[in-house]
């Protein structure tokens, strides 16, 4: 447990540095007569973090911005493919070969657009954005972690030696999800869906946790991006309906309800068919909303420090202490939420898949 306490102290120190150091930097930047002009745009801070971008802004060092540029990959009909660094936008006054990032308030706000003959065109955009880069990086790290755990099992006889440390922790997590969630919710066909459900759990959990680390290459709000949660929900949707049994589809189009609920107006079949899409939609919104709201709450609490920068020493001290304490509490709460949301998404996916595996009461092959 000593190593755990050391890690906890180190994380607390990093958190305090992350919250307090920007305050010192802000005070150094404010000069006499400029305090009213240097107002803090909380909206820009919050949405700048939770949103996607074509570069990774790390921090400001004086008047210079420390930014990791990312590749922009776009295609315009008649112009072909263009691949260049997002840093080109800074070198050329915001425009490079007719491409520029649409300003706030425009139709394609925050997206790369192309100007041709006075007309603004939205090209085919396959750029490696901040969220896409973080997603690929986290996926590679997660694959390495799982392969290292599997390597331990290939080199050791589990009948003679029990895993310990991180491998033992991973075994506990895998058995918990596999035995308690997958087997219990899916039923007799659990082996078919266990790889997907375990992958979904660890993918969501790892991205939730890395989203709480406030420095590069982590800190991106991956699971708070609705495009990511939509893909996860679509995967569950396909697993439910592609592998659904005949009894499952029969209950959708001709459920066991009184005839007047099915003819002449098929009210119950319509409700059941509508339910096919509401289940993955609920999975998508639940994960997206919970992870997004947590990040927004912590960012708003951190912004209180900057807002109070021009209110005097007493006010900024009080707001700083309150912001630090609330952020510590929110970070601890978000650690719990990170696990709960991964667990709930996996459990509900397993429940929905299990309901699609029902064979009916009269099926002779059904296990009792």
Q: Work out how many domains the chain is built from and give that number.
A: 2
Final residue of a structural domain among 92, 107, 125: 125
Q: Cα 284–330–130 angle (5° rounding)?
A: 50
Q: Say if 368 falls within a structural domain.
A: no
Task: Show the tokens assigned to 253.
Answer: 């189009």
The answer to whether residues 214 and 265 belong to one domain is yes
The answer to whether residues 189 and 90 belong to one domain is no
Indicate whether 316 pLDDT > 80: no
Indicate whether 307 pLDDT > 80: no
Q: Are 40 and 303 in contact (CB under 8 A)?
A: yes
The answer to whether residues 294 and 164 belong to one domain is yes
Give the residues across from 153 on adjacent strands: none
Final residue of a structural domain among 91, 125, 159: 125
In this structure, what DSSP letter does residue 60 have?
A: E
In angstroms, the CA 83 to CA 317 distance is 48
The answer to whether residues 275 and 212 belong to one domain is yes
> Over pLDDT 70: what percentage of the chain?
82
Output phi, psi for 210, to 5 deg.
-70, -25
The answer to whether residues 117 and 179 belong to one domain is no
Return the C-alpha torsion angle 330, 334, 337, 338, nearest 10.
Answer: 180
pLDDT in tens, 235-289: 999 999 999 888 888 888 877 777 776 777 777 888 888 889 999 999 999 999 9
The answer to whether residues 114 and 148 belong to one domain is no
Buried b (16+ CB within 10 A) or exposed e, 221-247: bbbbbeebbbebbebbbebbbeebeeb
CB-side exposure of 96: number of CA atoms within 13 Å?
Answer: 17
pLDDT of residue 282: 93
**Domain range spanning residue 316?**
130-355
**Sign (positive or negative) of CA dihedral 132, 138, 141, 145:** negative
Give the residues across from 81 on adjacent strands: 75
Q: Say if 26 falls within a structural domain.
A: no
Beta-strand runs (E) in 117-194: 119-121, 124-125
Q: Cα 359–364–366 angle (5° rounding)?
A: 50
End-to-end CA distance of the chain: 44
Indicate whether 195 pLDDT > 70: yes
Q: Are 102 and 108 in contact (CB under 8 A)?
A: yes
> Which class for 298: exposed (0-12), middle (13-18), buried (19 or more C-beta within 10 A)?
buried
Q: Say if 66 falls within a structural domain.
A: no
Task: Show the tokens assigned to 326.
Answer: 């609330």
pTM over 0.95, yes/no: no
The answer to whether residues 104 and 217 belong to one domain is no
The answer to whether residues 160 and 247 belong to one domain is yes
3-class SS of residue 96: strand
pLDDT in tens, 70-85: 999 999 988 889 999 8
The answer to whether residues 201 and 254 belong to one domain is yes
The answer to whether residues 114 and 172 belong to one domain is no
What average pLDDT does the segment 310-325 reach? 77
Strand (E) or helix (H) holding 61: strand 55-61
The answer to whether residues 235 and 99 belong to one domain is no
The answer to whether residues 78 and 214 belong to one domain is no
Q: Say if 7 falls within a structural domain.
A: no
Indicate whether 62 pLDDT > 80: no
> Which class for 296: exposed (0-12), middle (13-18), buried (19 or more C-beta within 10 A)?
middle
Q: Say if 266 falls within a structural domain.
A: yes
pLDDT in tens, 136-188: 999 999 999 999 999 998 888 877 888 888 999 999 999 999 999 999 899 88
Final residue of a structural domain among 94, 110, 125: 125
Q: Are 15 and 327 in contact (CB under 8 A)?
A: yes
Work out the number of other CB atoms within 10 angstroms of the CB of residue 272: 17
Q: Say if 187 falls within a structural domain.
A: yes
Q: Say if 107 falls within a structural domain.
A: yes
Q: Say if 150 falls within a structural domain.
A: yes
């Amino acid at each position: 447990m000593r190593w755990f306490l050391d890690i906890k102290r180190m994380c607390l120190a990093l958190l305090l540095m992350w919250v307090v150091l920007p305050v010192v930097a802000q005070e150094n930047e404010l000069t006499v007569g400029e305090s009213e002009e240097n107002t803090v745009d909380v909206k820009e801070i919050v949405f700048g973090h939770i949103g996607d971008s074509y570069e990774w802004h790390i921090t400001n060092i004086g008047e210079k911005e420390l930014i990791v540029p990312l590749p922009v990959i776009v295609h315009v009909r008649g112009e072909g493919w263009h691949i260049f660094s997002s840093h080109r936008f800074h070198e050329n006054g915001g425009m490079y070969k007719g491409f520029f990032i649409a300003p706030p308030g425009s139709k394609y706000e925050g997206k790369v657009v192309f100007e041709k003959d006075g007309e603004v065109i939205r090209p085919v955009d396959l750029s490696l954005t901040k969220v896409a880069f973080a997603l690929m990086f986290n996926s590679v790290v997660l694959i390495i972690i799982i392969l290292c755990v599997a390597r331990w099992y290939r080199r050791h006889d589990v009948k003679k030696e029990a895993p310990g440390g991180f491998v033992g922790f991973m075994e506990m997590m895998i058995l918990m999800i596999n035995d308690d969630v997958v087997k219990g919710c899916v039923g007799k066909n659990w082996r078919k869906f266990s790889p997907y459900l375990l992958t979904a759990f660890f993918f969501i959990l790892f991205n939730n946790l890395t989203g709480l680390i406030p420095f590069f290459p982590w800190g991106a709000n991956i699971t708070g991006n609705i495009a990511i949660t939509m893909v996860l929900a679509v995967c569950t949707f396909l697993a439910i309906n592609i592998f659904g049994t005949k009894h499952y589809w029969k209950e959708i189009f001709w459920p066991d309800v009184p005839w007047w609920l099915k003819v002449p107006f098929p009210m119950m079949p319509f409700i059941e068919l509508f339910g096919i899409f509401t289940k993955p939609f609920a999975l998508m919104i639940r994960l997206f909303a919970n992870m997004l709201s947590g990040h927004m709450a912590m960012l708003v609490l951190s912004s209180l420090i900057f807002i109070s920068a021009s209110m005097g020493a007493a006010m900024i001290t009080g707001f700083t202490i309150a912001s630090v304490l609330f952020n510590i509490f929110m970070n601890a709460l978000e650690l719990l939420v990170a696990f709960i949301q991964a667990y709930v998404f996996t459990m509900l996916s397993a429940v929905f898949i299990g309901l699609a595996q029902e064979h009916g009461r009269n099926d002779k092959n059904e296990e009792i």
